[in-house]
Amino acid sequence: MLPSKRSAGADGGQPKRPKVGESPPAAAASNGTRNGAPPAIDEDLHSRQLAVYGRETMRRLFASDVLVSGLNGLGAEIAKNLALAGVRSVTVHDVKDVDMWDLSGNFFLSEQDIGKNRALACISKLQELNNAVLVSALTEELTKEHLSKFQAVIFTDISLDKAYEFDDYCHSHQPPISFIKAEVCGLFGSVFCDFGPEFTVLDVDGEDPHTGIIASISNDSPAMVSCVDDERLEFQDGDLVVFSEVQGMEKLNDGKPRKVKNARPFSFSIEEDTGSYGVYTKGGIVTKVKEPKVLRFKSLRDAMKDPGDFLLSDFSKFERSPVIHLAFQALDNFRKEHGRYPTAGCEQDAQSFLKFVADINEASIDSKQEKIDEKLLRHFASGSRAVLNPMAAMFGGIVGQEVVKACSGKFHPLYQFFYFDSVESLPTYQLDPQDLKPSNSRYDAQISVFGSKLQKKLQDANIFIVGSGALGCEFLKNLALMGVSCSSKSKLTITDDDVIEKSNLSRQFLFRDWNIGQAKSTVAAAAARAINPSLQIDALQNRACPDTENVFHDTFWDGLDVVINALDNVNARMYMDMRCLYFQKPLLESGTLGAKCNTQIVIPHLTENYGASRDPPEKQAPMCTVHSFPHNIDHCLTWARSEFEGLLEKIPNEVNSFLSNPTQYAAAMRKAGDAQARELLERVSECLGKERCITFEDCITWARLRYAQMFCLPLLYYFLYEIYY
């Protein structure tokens, strides 16, 4: 969380803040497309996405038009993620008006929006997230003709019959339109994906292809390829590989994929006679070819009858997905008959819902469930109307990623149903039906699931969030919507010593371009308070570390109920874990890396703490190899970092130590008396002698000579060696 000070926008002045509802400039609205040319990628804004997706994927994404139908909490999360990702356009559709329950899940809405159309109430704030995305709203009933304009359509609030109709159209359309149906009902959620009869996944995992550095190739049939033995090969029999930079057997550099056989840790064979290819001399890289994968999706109508295997997120709930599959169908039947959701805590509605489940199960011939968890189904029915923000945030992220997959062909999509539940989040005590009744507050949806007693505890909680980057913004939004720290005797403290940069705007959604250069914590706190004016929040710009224990003192820690980490480095995590361990405070720990993430819940006396387990150390090349024979990119990077730290950090620090106290420094070196101490003294002597830089011009001269020494002379020696031998 080292701050990179920035006080102005990209043009040298403060970026101009657009008026609410103002349309984006024409060039921005078209994502930079001019005269049919590929859309330009704003590398300052999308640097992180470029690193994960690559340019080709980003170009496909930037050329995609997406429809999001149903602006409840889930629809708002999906639309937000798509706007941040940078699709060409997002069209939001809804025919319903905002009511009090929507304020529990949709962070775009406020009490002033009650009675307005949900899509129209969200559109101006959605546009603020990314002016390069064209945002529009539809408020009329959808028809199949509307869908033909989009590459992907998402529905979050639709009847099953209407979903069948729209999916049949999308499935048979040429080219197919990617169809996603997602739903959140209390502590239960579902996603269904149909990307057409034949969908090609260009890159299944998004990882860099496995490579090996060639040591030798035999002149045989089949030919044996041996690689350097510092890293095991990740090839298997049947894999396809291509060769490059091979010297002596240049015919192998033709880019033709060749099949691997007899794969071993450091060698493999190819079914090819290399006897006439000449003698292998040196060099060469072998790279695994990533083959496209074709998926054949079933339509929703067919998949509902024969769902196949469900994607599991929790192997302890192996038999739960088929039951939830029945529950969502039964809910559709209940709504069709009664015109509403089951009432929370209502026994009569629960019985009616259970009957629908039983009837659907009896009618299921091939997938009939012998045993049905009635208690689970009662929980489902009771909370089915509520779109809880934490569930909406989770499924909004999943569906947003599925849209990226559908539009780009990168990463393997969900195939086809995914169900999730979090019933373990319910209170351990028996909930009183009276405790679930709405009170005409913005928290009614949450109360219908957890009860008013737990809601009161959440509102009185004292929370400490460390970091207000991508994760910190999400946590703040979630807590504000949940009503955490929203009573007069509670407080949410957030701290971050960083400032907002342009690259933050593609994922840290509480910030806008006019906030560049401002403190993250201050801006995030103000945005969270705008979501829920009752939020009691205090924003600080202090780093959580030993130097600030006068700020985060014992009294501060004693008053906390929960600590939430939103950090980006291990050292800060270890420090926070140590403090939570000392003060016996629960810690919510999480992190992201590209498309991957992790989370850990630390409860005193119940779970292990963050520092109790460590990741295995990364494999490092021996320094003798790095300095004498660096033969792969990792070696070169390690060498470069070693040189950088030595020249610009280690040696200057040694010089400063000597200048601050020459006598003490000399005594320490004499006491050490080893070769390393002698080398340090020689380097200090050089820095203060012949390499001493007095002026800026001296620094330039030193850098130019160092460049020549490191790169020009070795290159000259290499050419002379090639000519001579």
Would you name the residues annotated as active-site residues? 624
Listed residue (395, 469, 347) closest to 48, CA to CA: 469
Please state, as a whole number, how many other Cβ atoms lie within 10 Å of the Cβ of residue 292: 10
User: From residue 683, how far is each of 300, 665, 695, 698 by CA, in Å?
Assistant: 71, 14, 20, 18
Distance of CA 377 to the CA centre of its chain: 32
Amino acid letter, residue 171: H
Please state, as a whole number, how many other Cβ atoms lie within 10 Å of the Cβ of residue 471: 22
CB distance 339 to 440 below 8 Å: no
The helix/strand/coil state of 31 is: coil
CB distance 384 to 331 below 8 Å: yes
Tokens of 509: 């959604």
Distance CA 298, CA 416 (A): 8
Sign, CA dihedral 8-11-14-19, equals: negative
CB distance 1 to 497 below 8 Å: yes
Please state, as a whole number, how many other Cβ atoms lie within 10 Å of the Cβ of residue 647: 16
Q: What is the DSSP letter of 187?
A: T
The helix/strand/coil state of 64 is: coil
Listed residue (274, 268, 269) closest to 251, CA to CA: 274
In this structure, are strands 463-466 and 417-421 parallel, antiparallel, or unpaired? unpaired
Q: What number of H helices and E strands is found in the chain?
A: 25, 21
Tokens of 251: 């015919």
CB distance 648 to 662 below 8 Å: no
Q: What DSSP string runs through 527-574?
A: HHHHH-TT--EEEE----SGGGTTTS-HHHHHT-SEEEE--SSHHHHH
Q: What is the DSSP letter of 455?
A: H
User: From residue 618, how far is each of 299, 632, 696 by CA, in Å?
Assistant: 45, 16, 39
CB distance 519 to 541 below 8 Å: yes
Q: 337-346: list long-range contacts, CB under 8 Å, 24+ apart.
A: 341/384, 341/385, 342/381, 342/382, 342/384, 342/385, 344/382, 344/383, 344/385, 344/386, 344/433, 344/436, 344/437, 344/448, 344/449, 345/382, 345/431, 345/432, 345/433, 345/434, 345/436, 345/437, 346/382, 346/433
Distance CA 641, CA 645 (A): 6
Distance CA 135, CA 108 (A): 14
The CA dihedral of 505, 507, 508, 510, to the nearest 10 degrees, is 80
Helix (H) / strand (E) element for 304: namely: helix 300-305
Distance CA 43, CA 418 (A): 34
